Amino acid sequence: MTRLNSQNRNSGSFCLDAGQCREFVATRLRRFIDWWIDPDTGLAIQERSGVLRWFVRVLDELHWADSAAELREPFGADSEPKSVTFIPARLSDNRILLEKDPAYFRNERRAKDTHPEYTGQCVIDGRSYWISAWIKEGQTGKFFSLAFKPKEPTPKPATKAQPAAYDSEDDIAF
């Protein structure tokens, strides 16, 4: 967040930073958007979605308020408060990403532990497959266990025609 804040400098022009990430339980980003997240569920608080908040950074500590004026009072008129908001979204909201890379998709309909945690699709040697993925714990840490299933059934190999059974009453032409 420090880098993001330092890169968002301008000379009067409008700046906008937008971002996305996957799981981020104890990261700087998670702490940055804490006000918008329910501490019990870890999910976004819908009533706070899109609500504008203001902050200033003083000695690597963020100070938050509901308006820039509230921050200018204790930190000085030239403190330059920055505004930010958080709008939660699902991967399915990002149509462009799904069109460019449909391979990685969290399974939102997972009902049992045996169901995959992630699903997607890929093309291998020109053939389309469904991907199922589970997060497993190994000796050296977590890893993905993957399963690939063809989207279309595998064509059955052509069988050789069996010769007709010999019937001794039939004439055999020589």
CB 44 within 8 Å of CB 51: no
pLDDT category at 28 given cuts 50, 70, 90 is: confident
Q: What is the pLDDT of residues 48-97, one digit of tens each?
A: 999 999 999 888 889 999 999 999 999 988 888 999 988 887 767 777 76
Model pTM greater than 0.95?
A: no
Q: Is the predicted pLDDT of residue 14 greater than 60, yes or no?
A: no
Q: What is the pLDDT of residues 49-62, one digit of tens each?
A: 999 999 998 888 89
Residue in the block written with tokens 């403190």: 79
